[in-house]
A and B are shown apart, each in its own frame.
Chain A
Amino acid sequence: MSDAHLVLEALEKRFGAGPPAVAALSLAVQKGELLGLLGPSGCGKTTTLRMIGGLAEATAGRILVAGHDVTTLPPHKRDMGIVFQNYALFPHMDVAGNVAFGLEMRKQSRAEIAAKVERALAMVHLDGLGHRRPRELSGGQQQRVALARALVIEPSILLLDEPLSNLDAKLREEMRTEIRDIQKRLGITTIFVTHDQVEALAMCDRIAVMRAGSLEQLGTPFDIYESPATPFVADFVGRINRLDGARDGDGDILAGPLRLRAAKPGPAGRVTVMMRPHRLHIATDAIGPEWNSAAGTIRRATYVGDVLACEVDCAGAMLTVERHTHPGQPIPREGEAVNLAWRVSDTLAFDA
């Protein structure tokens, strides 16, 4: 990709002996794109971010920004804005001092700095709080200061390391849209590290799902969710039902007592079948040929207000079905016999 703004080429990080923390990672990020690095803790996503920012040394591979190799450049020469998980605000400076720091390092004039700091604080809705100390601010406000401080230097790339994980749920959603809006408005290439799949799906242009130091799948949120490349991705991004089975010569899959058909054909052999719980239905009518079905008994019904989840025992195979609640629909009783149905196109099969 010729117009890629940030390129990682076979990037590797080893800490002593043992398997590498990041192995042969290659990625190309477009200008103005927000790319999420998503994965469980220890998958190497933060290490990757630290290598991009120059806070960790790559043991192999290259990092290119706008075509220039920055792999061995120290962090203070990389021109990247970083927002840390704990915000890392300087406690001995006030808010304005924190935001001004990067501009002072760039030897800008006092008047220029003052004007830029004011604009940056206005951008994150902290007008007039410039003289507060970081400890006098709420978590959300500290987060905004960290964002303003990283953006005011107009960095070539913005790196966000789990910036929302220390906020409560409501604030997290608010900051999610706010960060995304600012990022779009400034058109700044951004890498966003998170272990929260909802965050990644909601904010990112593309998501790189990482596992044990390697790239598992790279794609848009839609691709990642609807067409996961591996059972790991399917399992990590969203809730999912999982059955182990085998595909016969006709393309039918036998998973325990169930005979299913999957969205895509494949060779005979062992397969893992996965279905999203909310794509399963408790069937009331006769079903068409484009549907898989299973008969079972409700073992548990969990009502959480907007969603009702039922665990259904289909002759030994446990399937979870979720649906939105409705005051007209009664909550099924445990022990009730039901028929489950779901589209063949919603049935993902992975060759083992």
Chain B
Amino acid sequence: MTEFLSHIGLGFLSNGFMLNALLAVLMSSVLFGAIGTMAVDNRMAFFSDALGHSATTGIALGIMFGVENELISLIAFGVVMALIINKVRTSGTASTDTVISVFASASIAVGLMLLSKNQSAAQYSAYLVGDILSVTKSELIFLFVSTIVILVLWGVIYNRLLLVSINRTFASSRGIRTAVYENLFCAVIAVVVMLSIRWVGILLINSLLILPAAAARNVSRSVRQYHVLSVIIALVSSVAGLIMSWYMGVSSSASIVVALTVMFVLTFIFRKRSGRD
């Protein structure tokens, strides 16, 4: 088996950790690819970045209170944070970006304070850059179930979210409870971000959400193309990044983001060539 895999250039999969990593990366690519399309449409890159940063406090709280499953404390904290930031974002305050920035800074600082209590925060640096080889079997199962649940939910809420993103008041006139859908969407982003933040890392998580969709929208003309391309770009970049990291001995999440950036540049050039914009 090992020989066969290395023969077809997938030798790295004979390492059990890498196989888990690949499965995790494939599942979250589908999620990031799909959900990212709406995050980009709604210009929420900054929002999701702040959310990623807030994970620092989520991690610290989990460790402090010894929550058995770290993921659950992270997700719970992330959802609460997402709803608060969204409240600020939609309240019509003039300086929304400033307020979001305050939230992001505060949650990093509080998290670092808690983590560094009586010890060096340096031991938690793995959270900054992520550790993809740390994915366990039970996490994979949790990720698999979450992926199915989120994709089904996505199918149910997508059309109404699309109308809300195009014009909130128009969506209201069609009987859509806009605030409910906006909050639901923010909660979905929070769950998707927190599901994979431990192995992607706080520094790069936002790129995984934003870049596939940003690349796909360069060359898409309908929401189906947009979704399909975004997911394919996420999948291809993730696998390419993972292989790159294995053979070059560099950070996996960083390699994935570099691969995504290449995809973005390629689609951007293609758009310029085809005369759009």
Does B associate with A? no
